[in-house]
Structure 1
C-alpha cells in the first residue's frame, strides 16, 4: 500500500510488562449483566487450583433483601443439612441459603494470544494473560441433598441409628490380584486416558487466597505492576573504565600458592567483593552487616563508586531506620529458608522482623516482651532478630544498634521522605498480617511516643552506667532484662511541647520527634504555594493523578485523597517530582481544576469532593444527586427516581438511576450511602 494514501495518524510507545505474567487471571461472568458486578458483595472465601487454573468464589447472599424468598431459602437449607440446626457440619449455618458458589469453567480460547493493556501518559503497557476463566453458579449443594438422601435410605430412614445395631456381615474370602508388567505403550495410553487425568485433577488441592476489593491499598499496589519498569534506572551501575572491566573479567590471581584455611561463613572477603557487580556488593555487605550507615557502606566499596548508583542498589535490598540502613527481611529470609531454632517458615520470620524494624522507626528502644506478645514468635527467633539490629540496655530494653544518622537525612531529603512514606504505607499491611487491632495500634504508638520523649534525659546518665552496661552485655548467662518496661515520671512526658515554626513558610505547627526517618511531607491546609505558582511539571503530574482518581471514584474525601497520594508516592522512583512536597491546598486546587466540587454538607466531618459532570448524557441526573447529597448522606432509590422525574419532567430508566447511584454511593440494607461516609457501615 502506498504510504501517501495511508499516512500515520498517531504513534505511541508500547511496553511489555511481565511482573504479573504468571498470576494474571481474566475472570468473566457470562450469566451476569455487565452493570451488576460483584464488587459490593461480601466475599466469604476464595480458592484456586493453580495447575488447573481453576477459581472458586463463595459469595454471601443478602437474606434481608425484599427480593429474597425466605421460605425457599429455609427449604433448600433443610434439604441440604436436614434437622441439624447449629451443627458444625452444616453447609448453611444460619438455617437459610445464605451463600452461593461461583466455579470457573476453563475457556477454550488460547490465552497466549491475549494481553491486558494499560494506557497511561501516552504509553501502552501490555501484560500477558496467564489464564482466562468463566465463572458460573455452582449447584454443588444439590449433590449434598442426593448424598444425604442415600444415607437416610440405606439406614432404614433413621439418620440417628447407631452403628452398633447393625448386623455384622459374614466373613467372605478375598481374592488377591497381582498386576502384570505394563508395557510402555500401555502406560502411555493409561496416562493419557480421561480417567487418569480426571483423577489427577481431583487430587490437586485447593489453595486458599485472600480477596481484596477494587479500592483496597493492596489492589492499588498490584495495579502498578501492570506498568513496565524503566530499563535505564540501573544503567549507571555499569559505568566503569575498560581497565576495571578487564579486571572484573579476569581478576588477578594470588601469588601465594599455599592452601589457606577456610574462612567462617559470616566473614566476607573484600578482594572477592571487588569482583562482584555493584548490586551484589551492596547486597552482600548488607546481609553480613544487617545494619549499616551510608558513609560506612561507601568506605567498604571500591574507591570511585558512584553514590547515586549505590543508593539505587541500596533501596532494593534495605530500608531506612533512623537514618541508617537495615537489610530487608525477604532478602535475609528467602521463601525456601526456615528458622534454625524452631523450624518455622520464612513468612512468619519476615512478618515478625518487619514489625521490629517498624518499631525502631518509632522509638530507640524495644522490649522483647512486647515483640513476643505481638508477633507470637518463639523466644529464640525473637532474640536472634533483636541481636541483628540492636543491643540490650539494663532496665530499658533493646536499643537500636547505631546512632541516628542526621548527616544522611540532611544530605538526601528526597530519599528520606520517600522512605517515610513507604513505612506509612507498609505498617498498615504489617498490622493487618499480625491481626493488630486499632486499640493495640494506638497503645503501641502512645508507648513509642513516651519512650521517644524520655530518651533524651536518659542520655545524661549514660557515662555513669557505661561500665556496668559493658559488663552486662559481655555475659552470656544473664536473663533478658529487655522484658522490664520503661518507668518514666509522669511529669517527663508532659514536658514535651510542640514547636511552632513561624516565618515565610507559614507552616502548621508540628511536634518534633527525633525518632523518625527525617523530614516528612506535611499535607497541611495552609501554605503559600498554589497550583499556579508551582513548576509546570509538578502541576501536570498532580492534575493527572487527581483526575485519574476522581474520574474513577467520583467521590473523594480529603483523607482518602491524601492516603492515595501516599500510596502513589511510595511507588514513585527516587527523584520524582512528587518528592518535592505537595500540600493539602495544592490537592484541593487540583481537584477544583479537573472539574470536582466541594460538597458543603452538614453531615460531613471533613472536606468531600465530588465529580458532578463527566460530559455524558447523565450529567443532569448527577447534578440532582449531588444537590441531594448536600443535605443527606443516605439516598432511597425510589424517592430519588421520583425526584429526578419531577425535575426533568420525564421518567428516567432504571438503568440510568442505578448507574448514577453506583458511581457515588454504596448499597446497604435497602438504601444507598455516599462512598466516603463512615456511618453506613
Structure 2
C-alpha cells in the first residue's frame, strides 16, 4: 500500500457549479456551413425569411445577395431572374427585382447524433448547459430554378387543352367501370406505411412553420440568452444519481454507437465491439476474420479469464480441426443461396470444394493446385482463393498448410481429436460420392499421407516435469524433456541436411505458443524479409506507445497475425530474444531492473527538444515503476541544463505512465494494472 503524495502533485484548479437548462432544448439548432469558408460568415448578411419543419428538423433560410458588389455579374443575375420569374413578373415572383437578389439555404442531416452535444454558457462562475435539439448542414438549394420548366409545361398543357376543345364537338358518352378496392391486410398495410413513397408523402404534408429572426446583440437575442442562464428552482435528477449511473448516462448507448459507427474494411475486426458480444459470437467473428487459428492464439485474443472449456464448445460449432489448428467451416464463409464473386459458382459447390481441400490437409502438409482442381472441378480463381485462405506456396512442394501441426493441442485434447477424426471420416464418405472420388484415388492419397507422416513428424514424448521460466514469468517445460523415438533419430541423422529446417521448437510467451522455424536464421533471403517486417512492426508500436512489456508486444503481434492473410511472414514465429534484439536495433532500450517481472522496452531517443525529459523518466524507471514528477523535472534539468515547464513534463509523463490516485505508474507494469 502506497502513501498519498502531496496535494500539490495534482491540485484542483477550479470548482464550478453546473446547471442543466432545458428551456430552449427543443429549439436549439447547431448550423454548419460546409461549402463556405470559415472567414466568410453570414453575420453581416441580411436574412430575408426562414421556416422550419419541426418533426423533420428541416430548416430553410433565404439570404440576400449583394447585387452592388464588384464580384456580382449583372447580366448573369438578370438571366437567372428571367428564367425563374419570366418576362412579366408579378406579386408571386420569386425575386423582388429584375435580378437574382437572394439565395436559398436548405438543411441536410450532418450524420452526427446531436444528443451528445450541448450549448455551454459560463456566467458568474456557474456553467449552464442546454442540450442541442438538432445539428444540420446548410447548403445552397436551387429548387426555384425548376419554375421555368413548370411554367413551360403548364403553358403547353393549356394550349393542348384549347386546341382539343376547338377541334372536338360534344364528347360522346362512355361506359364507366366502377371498381372497389380489396380490404387491406395487416401485412400489406405495414409494408405501405414503411415504404419510401409513404415516408416522402408524410414529409411533404408537414407544414412549414415561419421563423422570426433576431440579429446578434438585439433585445430579443439578449432575452433568449438570459433564459439559458436562469437557475431553476427544481432540482435536476441528472445530478442526483450514483457516479456509475451518471457515467452510463453520459456514454452513448450501444444502438447509437452501432448507428454511427463508420463502415470498416472487411479484413479489420474491432476488438472493442468484440468484447460486447457473447462468447459464441466472439469465436465466430475471430474465426471468420482469421480463417485459420491456433487454440492458444484464440484464447489470447478473447477477454482475460475466458473459460477454455466453454471456448472449446463454441469453436466446435463454427470450425473444424485440421493438423491441430481450427479452420472456419465452409458453410459460414459461403452462406446458402450465395455465389462466388469470381465465377458466380453456387455456394454449395464452393463448400464442397473447400471441404475437400481441408480434408486433404488433414492427410498431408502440402497439396498441389492441379490435384485439387482435377477433383473439385472448380474454376482456377476459386481454387486459388480457397487455398490462400489456409495455406501458402512452398517452392517445389505446392501449397503448404499455413501453420505447423499443433501437437500441443492434439496431445492435450485427444477426445476432441478423435471426435473430429470421426467427423472427417463421415464427411469424406459424402464427398467421395459428390466428387466421384474412386477407391484407387483414395488409396493413393492415404499412402502418400502415411509416408509423409512417417518421414516428417519426429514423435515427442514427455519423460520428466522439469520446468523453467520465460521472460514473462510463466513456466514452460524444458526442451530437454522432449525425446525422439530411436527410429526417428536414426532417420533424422541420415537426412539432417534436408530435413533439419522442417523441425521446429516452440517458444511459449504469456500463454501463447509461437513456433520458431530454424530456416529463418539459415536462409538469408527469408531472414532479411522476416527481420525487415519485424523491425517495421516493433518500431511502429514502440514509437507510438513509448513503453511496452514483452506480453503486451506479443498481444499486439497476435492481433496482427489474426488479421493478416495466410502466409504472412511473421507467422513463422517470434522469440523473446529476437524481440529484444530488434528493440535494440531500432534504438529502443531494454529495462533490466529488480522490480519488474517481465521484459520491458522503452523508446526515448526521439531527437526532439523533450528528449531530456524522456531520458529522465528512463532513469527514474530503473529504480521503481512509480515515478515522481518533481524527480523527473529535476533530472531533466540536470541532463539538459535548463528547466522544463510543469505542464510539459506532465504531458511527456502521460506518454510513459498512467496516473492513478495522484501517482504516476509506468505503463504495462504490474502495480499500475
TM-score range, shorter chain: 0.3 to 0.5
Structure 2 length normalisation: TM-score?
Answer: 0.37
- TM-score when normalising by structure 1: 0.36
* Bigger Rg, which one: 2
